[in-house]
Structure 1
Amino acid sequence: MRSVFRDGEGHLRNGWKALGFFLPTFFLVGLLMWISTLLPASVKPFVPHPFLAFLGVLLGTLGALRLERQPLASLGISVGQGPARHFGAGVLGGMVLVGLVAVCGWAAGGYHLERAGNPQATAVMKAAWMMLGVALFEETLFHGYLFQRVIRGLGTFWAQVVLSLIFCLAHPFNTQMDVPTRIVAMLTTFLAGWMLGLCYLRTRHLALPVGVHMGWNWFLGVMGFGVSGNESHGWWTPVFHGRPEWLSGGAYGLEASIFSVAVLALAIVGLTRWKGSAARDGHVQREDHSLASNA
C-alpha cells in the first residue's frame, strides 16, 4: 500500500495532496455560504458571495500548505510592486481581448451597441468589485494549490488539460441554447482556462491570471453582454441583428461567440511563445512528464 500513497522518496503523492485539498476546501466554501444566509439583510450586501468563496479556498490552501510547511508565496500569492504591475497589465489585457471579440462580432453584423438608458457609475464600480471577487476565487481554486500539485504529479501539459476541463465543466451552460452555441461556449471556456493557466506559468504568480480574468468579465458587463450566461447591465446594451447565435453569443454573452475561440487561440499562441518573467527570474519549474511517477 505504500506505493499507492507514497512515492519512491516516501513523500505523499501529489494526487492525494490535491484530493486532500479539494474536499476540505469544498466544505469550507459551503460552510461560509451557509453562514452568509444567517447574516442580517443589512449586512449581506457588504459580504459578496465571491469573496466568501475566495476566503474558503484561501483557508483550504493555507491548511494544505501548513501541512507541507510551505509559505503562501510559494503558490504565487503575494503583494508588492511586481504583482501589482502584473495585475494591472492583466486587467488591461483582459479588456483588450474581450474588446477584440466585441469588435469582430460588430463588424460581422451580429449586433450594435446602444447607450444604456440610465447608466450609473456606481453600478459599474460595484460590478468591478464583484468581478474581482470572482477572479480571486476561481484563480486561487483552479490555478493555485490544486493546479500546481497536479503539475508536479502529471506534468504541465496534462495539468493544463485536466484543470482546463474542470474549469469548463464548472461553468453552467443553459441546455436551451442551440447545440452549436453550447459547443462554442464550452470550447471558449476550455480555452480561457488554458490561457489563464499559461498566465500563471509565464509569471509563477496569480496576479496576472486574476487581472485577465477580472478585466475580461468586467468589460463584458460594461458593454452589457451576458457574463457566462448571467445577465448584466452596463453603460451599453447590445441590440442583436438576428444572425446565428454562435456568431454573436446571444443571451449567453460573447463567450458563446466563435470570435472568442479565435481571439483566445491567438492569445494562447502568444503566451506560449512568450518566455515570461518566470524564465527571466529563473523560477521555471520542471515540466518533464517523468513527474507522473509522483502522481
Structure 2
Amino acid sequence: MKAVFRDGEGHLRNGWKGLGFVVTSAIMAGILMWVWTLLPDAVQPFLPHSFFGFLGVLLVSLDFLYLEKQPLTSLGMSLDRRAGRDLGLGVVGGIVIVGMVALAGWAAGAYHLERAGNAQLASIVKAAWLMLGVGLFEEALFHGYLFQRAIRGLGTRWAQVVISLIFCLAHPFNTAMEVPTRIVAMVTTFLAGWMLGLCYLRTRHLALPVGVHMGWNWFLSVMGFGVSGKESRGWWTPVFEGRPEWVSGGAYGLEASIFCVVVLCVVIAALTRWKGSAAPETQALPRPEQAPALNG
C-alpha cells in the first residue's frame, strides 16, 4: 500500500500531489467566488469573480510549495520586467491568432462584422480587465503546480496530453450544439490547452500563456463572437451568412470553427520548433527523484 502513495525514495507521488491540488483549489476558489457574491453591486464590476478564483488557486499553490519548501518563482510566477514583456507579447499573440481565424472565416463567406451601435470604450476596457482575471485563474490552475507535477510524474509529452484533456473537459459544451460543431469545439479547446502548455514550456514562466489567454478571449469579445459559448458584446457584431456552424463557429464562437483548428495546428508547430527563452529542462525542473517530499 505504501508504494501506491510514495515512490522508491519515500516521496509522495506526483499524481497524488496533483489530485490534492485540484481538489483543494476547487474548494478554495469556490469559497472565494461565493464571497465575491456578497460584495456590493457597485464593487463587483471592478473586482471580477475570476480574480477571486485566481486568489484561491494562488493560496493553495503557496501552501503546497511551502510543504515542499519551494518558492513561488519555481512555478513561473513573478513580477519583473521579463514577466511584463512576456505578458504583453502574449496578449499581442492571442489577438493575432484570433484575428487570423476571424479573417479566414470572413474570407470563406461565413460572416461579416457590423459596427455595434452602443459600443463604448469603457466596456472594452472592462472586458480586458475581466479576461486578465480569467487568464490568471485558468493558467495558474492548469499550467501552474498541476502541470509541473504532471511533468515530473509523466514526462512532458504525456503531461501535455493529460492537462490539455482536462483543460478541454473543464470547458462547457452545450449539448444543443450540432455534433460536428461540438467535436470541432472540443478539438480546438484541446489544441488551445496544448498551445498554452507550450507557451509555459518555452519560457518556464506563466506570463506568456496568461497573455495569450487574455488576448485570445478579449479580442473574441471585442469582435462580438461568443467566448467558449458565452455571449459577448463588443465594438462589432457578427452577422452569419448561413454557412455550417462548424465553419463559422455559430453562437459558440470562433473556437468552434474549423479554421481555428487549422490556425492552432500552425501555431503549435511554430512553438514546437521555437527554442524559447527557458533554461534547459534538466536544469529548470528537477527530476522526480530530486523533488522534495511532501511532508506535513
> Are the aligned partners of 1:155 and 1:287 in contact in 2 as well (CA < 8 Å)?
no
TM-score normalized with structure 1 length? 0.95
Which amino acid counterpart does residue 172 of structure 1 have in structure 2?
P
Structure 1 residue 55 corresponds to structure 2 residue 55: yes
Alignment correspondent of 1:19: 19
Structure 2 unpaired stretches of 5+: none
Alignment correspondent of 2:274: 274
> Are the aligned partners of 1:86 and 1:208 in contact in 2 as well (CA < 8 Å)?
yes
Structure 1 unpaired stretches of 5+: none
Q: C-alpha distance in 2, partners of 1:79/1:260?
A: 32
Alignment correspondent of 2:251: 251
Give me the identity figure in percent. 71
1:171-230 deviation line (CA, Å, top 9, x unaligned)? 011111110000000000000000000000000000000000000100011111110011
Alignment correspondent of 1:140: 140
Q: Secondary structure at the match of 1:278?
A: coil
Q: C-alpha distance in 2, partners of 1:285/1:277?
A: 14
> Are the aligned partners of 1:110 and 1:247 in contact in 2 as well (CA < 8 Å)?
yes
Structure 1 residue 77 corresponds to structure 2 residue 77: yes
Distance 1:171 1:111, change over 3 A: same
TM-score normalized with structure 2 length? 0.94
Alignment correspondent of 1:108: 108
Per-residue deviation, 1:6: 1.4
Q: C-alpha distance in 2, partners of 1:35/1:114?
A: 39
Per-residue deviation, 1:268: 0.4
Matches within 5 A, 1:94-173: 94-173=94-173
> Are the aligned partners of 1:220 and 1:227 in contact in 2 as well (CA < 8 Å)?
yes
Alignment correspondent of 1:4: 4
Q: Secondary structure at the match of 1:39?
A: coil
Q: C-alpha distance in 2, partners of 1:281/1:151?
A: 10
Q: Secondary structure at the match of 2:238?
A: strand
Aligned residue-pair number: 291
Which amino acid counterpart does residue 178 of structure 2 have in structure 1?
D
Structure 1 residue 44 corresponds to structure 2 residue 19: no
Per-residue deviation, 1:240: 0.6
Per-residue deviation, 1:79: 1.1
> Are the aligned partners of 1:217 and 1:227 in contact in 2 as well (CA < 8 Å)?
yes
Q: C-alpha distance in 2, partners of 1:17/1:285?
A: 16
1:224-281 deviation line (CA, Å, top 9, x unaligned)? 1110011111111111100111001011100000000000000000000011001479
1:9-45 deviation line (CA, Å, top 9, x unaligned)? 1111111111221222111111112222223333333
